[in-house]
Amino acid sequence: MSESTPLSARARLAVTAGKAAAAVSRAAGRGSGSVIGGRVALKFDPELLSRLAGHLDVVLISATNGKTTTTRLVAEALRAGGEVVSNALGANMPAGITSALSAGANARFAALEVDEKYLIAVAQDVNPKAIALLNLSRDQLDRAAETRMMAEHWREGLQGTKATVIANADDPLIVWAASSCPNVVWVAAGQAWKDDAWSCPSCGGVLQRPDDTTWRCAECGFGRPTPTWVLTGDSVLDPHGSTWPIHLQLPGRANKANATSAAAVAATFGIAPQVALQRMQSVAAVAGRYDVVQYEGRDIRLLLAKNPAGWLETFSLIDPPPAPVILGVNARGADGTDTSWLWDVDYTRLTGHPIAVIGDRRLDLAVRLEVAGQNFQVFDTAAEAIRNSPPGRIEAIANYTAFQDLRRVVGN
Ligand SMILES: [Zn+2]
């Protein structure tokens, strides 16, 4: 770790201007103001990001699914070694990252979630010690070809990087992206969603999957590297062969995978896995996700799932039938405007659950559920859907803006 260096006058001015803009934005009732603040600060000093990160040991975390949660787990783990600055609310583009770092003058570590498209640019600015690559799957059907292009973009941008890259050996696109890096720590974190990874990223050949744990291209030999960190059931196997139990408040297999990757990240910063995993246990919710809120006598668990891979993982962690399920779908800008991805999800996993359908695109989803033979009702509002469910636990699964809408309704 380098000594903390005072910021230049220009950088100080940029930070001050950014904070002022954030305060104005907050006063105007537009959320935390972190993004607008960061945008203003970067205008004053385009090199601010690299200046703010200069004294920090930085890890960047990127993925299609799980990056906000994994960043939170990593931040908790690193706190065992010193103060951590993080974009905990998921503002993951350069402006949001700048804003987060401007609060880190006294920090030792920075745990930063980065949007897939900005990973390479941010990595060039902040000189990270570690980069974690978790998974790449499509967000919407019209973006199917983009996952392959994103892997290629990462591969080119990360070639020769000095950072230790912590990468998921079970996702062929991640392996393709990371295999140009000189220093990779492979993690067997699993991949429930395989539909985006049937063709070889290297040659386009068909990937062979003789069993659930391995894959290999018959044409060119590109295949799964041998991982040194492995998620096995409810435990993490570390590179020394020791097994450490995972105890999380966060539900589901996907979060155990996130914890495994987070433990591997923490180890590159000198934090032992048992210490890291114990600290992760304190995380109960992440930016409102997984929160259980009381509303109208019901306990509503808020589950964000943005794409087919996310819905698949989420269906696997909900309470068994007859727990009522609310599904919310919007197709506004942040969600992607094409809802055809709804047809890629296997809804038979919801059989036995009474389903309430809400959101701007509730009729698109209703058609899909009808075809899948599911038992559902359509409601105009979240409040109606909740009131129609029996008292007790409700599992509410929604994509990005539908999730924000739902949080507003239930006051979380
Ligand atoms: Zn191949």
Is 27 a residue whose pLDDT tops 90? no
- The two structure tokens encoding residue 268: 């590159």
CATH of the domain at 369: 3.90.190.20
Q: What is the pLDDT of residues 61-95, one digit of tens each?
A: 999 999 999 999 999 999 999 999 999 877 899 88
CATH of the domain at 197: 3.40.1190.10
Is 4 a residue whose pLDDT tops 70? no
Is 118 a residue whose pLDDT tops 80? yes
pLDDT at 13: 74
Kindly state whether residues 303 and 229 are assigned to the same domain. Answer: no
Q: Which residue has the tokens 């409040």?
A: 383
What percent of the chain lies above the pLDDT cut of 70?
94
Kindly state whether residues 245 and 338 are assigned to the same domain. Answer: no
- Centre of ligand 1 to C-alpha 167, Å, is 19
pLDDT confidence band for 2 (50 / 70 / 90): very low
Tell me if 103 is assigned to some domain.
Answer: yes
Kindly state whether residues 315 and 268 are assigned to the same domain. Answer: no
- Centre of ligand 1 to C-alpha 215, Å, is 11
Q: With left for phi above 0 and alpha for psi between -120 and 50, is residue 64 left, alpha or beta?
A: alpha
Kindly state whether residues 365 and 266 are assigned to the same domain. Answer: no
Mapped onto helix, strand or coil, the DSSP state of residue 248 is: coil
Q: Which residue has the tokens 């009732």?
A: 29
The number of folded domains in the chain is 2
Beta-ladder partners of 207:
217
Which of 280, 310, 338 is a domain's end point?
280
- Centre of ligand 1 to C-alpha 140, Å, is 25
- Centre of ligand 1 to C-alpha 216, Å, is 8
Distance CA 385, CA 391 (A): 12
Tell me if 313 is assigned to some domain.
Answer: yes
Sign of CA pseudo-dihedral 392, 395, 398, 404 = positive
Q: Which residues are catalytic?
A: 338
Q: Which residues are annotated as a binding site for Zn(2+)?
A: 200, 203, 217, 220
pLDDT confidence band for 32 (50 / 70 / 90): low
pLDDT at 141: 43
Kindly state whether residues 274 and 297 are assigned to the same domain. Answer: no
Kindly state whether residues 258 and 391 are assigned to the same domain. Answer: no
- Centre of ligand 1 to C-alpha 197, Å, is 12
- Centre of ligand 1 to C-alpha 214, Å, is 15
- Residue 12: partners with Cβ closer than 8 Å, 6 or more residues away: none
Is 1 a residue whose pLDDT tops 80? no
- Centre of ligand 1 to C-alpha 158, Å, is 21
Tell me if 31 is assigned to some domain.
Answer: no
Which of 249, 280, 311 is a domain's end point?
280
Kindly state whether residues 249 and 169 are assigned to the same domain. Answer: yes
Tell me if 196 is assigned to some domain.
Answer: yes
pLDDT at 29: 62
Amino acid at position 396, single letter: A
- Centre of ligand 1 to C-alpha 187, Å, is 21
Tell me if 97 is assigned to some domain.
Answer: yes
Concatenating the DSSP letter of every residue in 207-231 gives: EEEEETTEEEETTT--BPPPPSEEE
Range of the domain at 110: 49-280
Tell me if 24 is assigned to some domain.
Answer: no
Greater confidence (135 vs 14) lies with: 135
Kindly state whether residues 256 and 327 are assigned to the same domain. Answer: no
Kindly state whether residues 79 and 159 are assigned to the same domain. Answer: yes
Distance CA 340, CA 344 (A): 8
Is 197 a residue whose pLDDT tops 80? no
- The two structure tokens encoding residue 255: 């979060």
pLDDT confidence band for 3 (50 / 70 / 90): very low
pLDDT at 315: 95
Q: What is the pLDDT of residues 222-231, one digit of tens each?
A: 999 999 999 9
The residues whose Cβ lies within 5 A of ligand 1, an ion, are 200, 202-203, 205, 217, 219-220, 222
- Centre of ligand 1 to C-alpha 173, Å, is 12
Kindly state whether residues 311 and 267 are assigned to the same domain. Answer: no
The mean pLDDT value for 139-156 works out to 78
Greater confidence (335 vs 2) lies with: 335
Q: Which residues are annotated as a binding site?
A: 200, 203, 217, 220
The mean pLDDT value for 53-63 works out to 96
Greater confidence (137 vs 305) lies with: 305
Q: What is the pLDDT of residues 246-288, one digit of tens each?
A: 999 999 999 999 999 999 999 999 999 999 999 999 999 888 8
43-47, 55-59, 119-123, 324-328 — which is least confidently predicted? 43-47
144-153, 313-322, 337-346, 365-374 — which is least confidently predicted? 144-153
Tell me if 16 is assigned to some domain.
Answer: no
- Centre of ligand 1 to C-alpha 200, Å, is 5
Alpha helices in 102-198 (DSSP H): 119-126, 144-158, 172-178
Which of 238, 254, 280 is a domain's end point?
280
- Centre of ligand 1 to C-alpha 179, Å, is 14
Burial class for 235, CB neighbours closer than 10 Å (0-12, 13-18, 19+): middle
What percent of the chain lies above the pLDDT cut of 90?
70
Kindly state whether residues 87 and 145 are assigned to the same domain. Answer: yes
CA 202 vs. chain centroid, Å, equals 25
Tell me if 401 is assigned to some domain.
Answer: yes
Kindly state whether residues 157 and 186 are assigned to the same domain. Answer: yes
Answer for the pair 396, 328: CB distance below 8 angstroms, yes or no: yes
